[in-house]
Amino acid sequence: MPDPFLSSDEYDERAHQLYNEGRYDEAIEMLKDGLSVYPDALELLVGMGYARLAREEFAWSRQSFEVALKLEPDHEDALAGLGEIRLKLGERSAGLACFERVLELGFKEDLDIVLQMGRALFREGMLEQARKFFGVALAGHPDSAEASACVGYAAHRLSDETDAMRWLRHALSLDPQHAEARIYLANLLYDKGDYEPALAEFERTKPEDHWDELGIWRLIELKRSIYRLPEDDPELKPWLVRLADLAGDADPIDLLLAELEAAGPDGTGTHDPTQLELFGTLRTELAGMHKQPRAEVHRVRTREGVTYIGTWEEIVAEMRDNDDAFSGRPIREFLEEAAARASALTGIKVPATDAESFIRGSADAGLLRIMR
């Protein structure tokens, strides 16, 4: 029930606390109570817009931001929120115009709001624009590790790996505890085939820093192959426990057995420097950019001993890229030709309708093993 003795600022503060704790339903109820007492309270309207946005209630969110902007047309937080909604709804030019207006109003020095707008652009694949906004944030705050890391993330997505590594290393020089930047850098090094430097970066992270399974799989693989660790080495246990946490019902022993099966006869893993990128799945700030469900990560091993890790689609893309005859060609063409070859070789029909069916069919035909 609304409390008439609370000020609009107190309603806003309580709702903000609930929002920060991820308790969006309760935040919305608090904001509703506040707006029933203070219907024109600008901050409550803006707060409602962001709470609705967090629940992906885009129409309601848009309405809240638009009402707020009728009261104050140049309110920077409402403009940023409306811009994000417009991007979500495919109105890219209009969304970007909202963000540009925030900069025009003199908020280039506001680190939080500029990063917020950059991340919204990043999430929607507007990478050049995202990089620009991250650059604005960095220009205003050259000592910000987060701004530097964001420039690195965007550079990588734009295929500028040299610049990505430079900015990620700069972020870590500013804040050695920036776990997301360190994990990102470690995976970039891994994908380049620089395994020992990659392991050195991974080892400076803790299991709880990881919100994606792939980075942990790589760390375990590197530890076992470089240090020759036995499968029951206690050094691996906390990482296997974290894998189990991320995987839900998976048993750490099952995870360990999958690792053992993926290893070669000498106990070492097979490294493929062209393995998939994982960076759309990193959590915390980076996952805040993507805000999409974490795709399930699988692990397959071919009869030739090559291990692939990723979603079904990423694994097929890696297979295609490793096939000189199909590198750079459409996935559909690769699936059809590879399925036809597999069927001719084994006499078992391998589907080519989608990545998962193709991989499972190839496994049924004995051409590969699905480890996870």
Q: What pLDDT, in 10s, does the model give residues 119-133?
A: 999 999 999 999 999
Question: What is the spatial distance between Cα 51 and Cα 261, in angstroms, rounded to a whole number?
Answer: 46
**Does residue 161 fall inside a structural domain?**
no
Question: Do 274 and 338 belong together in one domain?
Answer: no
The confidence score (pLDDT) of residue 264 equals: 42
Question: What is the spatial distance between Cα 43 and Cα 63, in angstroms, rounded to a whole number?
Answer: 14
Question: Do 273 and 332 belong together in one domain?
Answer: no
Question: Do 182 and 264 belong together in one domain?
Answer: yes
pLDDT at 17 over 90: yes
Confidence of residue 217 (pLDDT cuts 50, 70, 90): very high
Question: Do 246 and 218 belong together in one domain?
Answer: yes
18-45 confidence digits (pLDDT tens): 999 999 999 999 999 999 999 999 999 9
Question: Do 306 and 277 belong together in one domain?
Answer: no
**Does residue 106 fall inside a structural domain?**
no
The confidence score (pLDDT) of residue 265 equals: 40
Mean pLDDT to the nearest integer, 215-227? 92
Question: What is the spatial distance between Cα 146 and Cα 168, in angstroms, rounded to a whole number?
Answer: 9
Mean pLDDT to the nearest integer, 129-156? 97
- Give the tokens for residue 72: 């104050």
Question: What is the spatial distance between Cα 307 and Cα 322, in angstroms, rounded to a whole number?
Answer: 12
The confidence score (pLDDT) of residue 281 equals: 35
225-266 confidence digits (pLDDT tens): 899 988 889 999 999 999 888 876 445 555 455 445 444 444
Phi, psi of 335 (to 5 degrees): -60, -45
Question: What is the spatial distance between Cα 250 and Cα 241, in angstroms, rounded to a whole number?
Answer: 10
- Give the tokens for residue 303: 């009869």
Q: Coil, helix or strand for 275?
A: coil
Confidence of residue 283 (pLDDT cuts 50, 70, 90): very low
The confidence score (pLDDT) of residue 249 equals: 46
**Does residue 301 fall inside a structural domain?**
yes
Question: What is the spatial distance between Cα 41 and Cα 244, in angstroms, rounded to a whole number?
Answer: 46
Least confident of 94-98, 135-139, 168-172, 361-365: 361-365
Q: Do 168 and 186 contact (CB within 8 A), yes or no? A: no
**Does residue 100 fall inside a structural domain?**
no
% the chain with pLDDT above 90? 60
Q: Which helix (H) or strand (E) holds 301?
A: strand 298-302
Residue that finishes a domain, picked among 257, 281, 305? 281
The confidence score (pLDDT) of residue 311 equals: 87
**Does residue 185 fall inside a structural domain?**
yes
- Give the tokens for residue 51: 């709470």
Q: Which one-letter DSSP state was computed for residue 81?
A: H
Question: Do 349 and 277 belong together in one domain?
Answer: no
Question: Do 219 and 250 belong together in one domain?
Answer: yes
Question: Do 361 and 266 belong together in one domain?
Answer: no
Confidence of residue 328 (pLDDT cuts 50, 70, 90): confident
pLDDT at 307 over 70: yes
Q: Do 152 and 122 contact (CB within 8 A), yes or no? A: no
pLDDT at 4 over 80: no
Average pLDDT, the chain: 86
Range of 217's domain?
177-281
Confidence of residue 272 (pLDDT cuts 50, 70, 90): very low
Least confident of 19-28, 215-224, 296-305: 296-305
**Does residue 186 fall inside a structural domain?**
yes
Question: Do 274 and 185 belong together in one domain?
Answer: yes
**Does residue 61 fall inside a structural domain?**
no
**Does residue 357 fall inside a structural domain?**
yes
Mean pLDDT to the nearest integer, 342-370? 87
**Which has more pLDDT, 223 or 267?**
223
Domain count, the chain: 2
Residue that finishes a domain, picked among 281, 315, 338? 281
Question: Do 265 and 338 belong together in one domain?
Answer: no
Question: Do 301 and 369 belong together in one domain?
Answer: yes
Residue that finishes a domain, picked among 213, 248, 281? 281
Residue type, 279: F
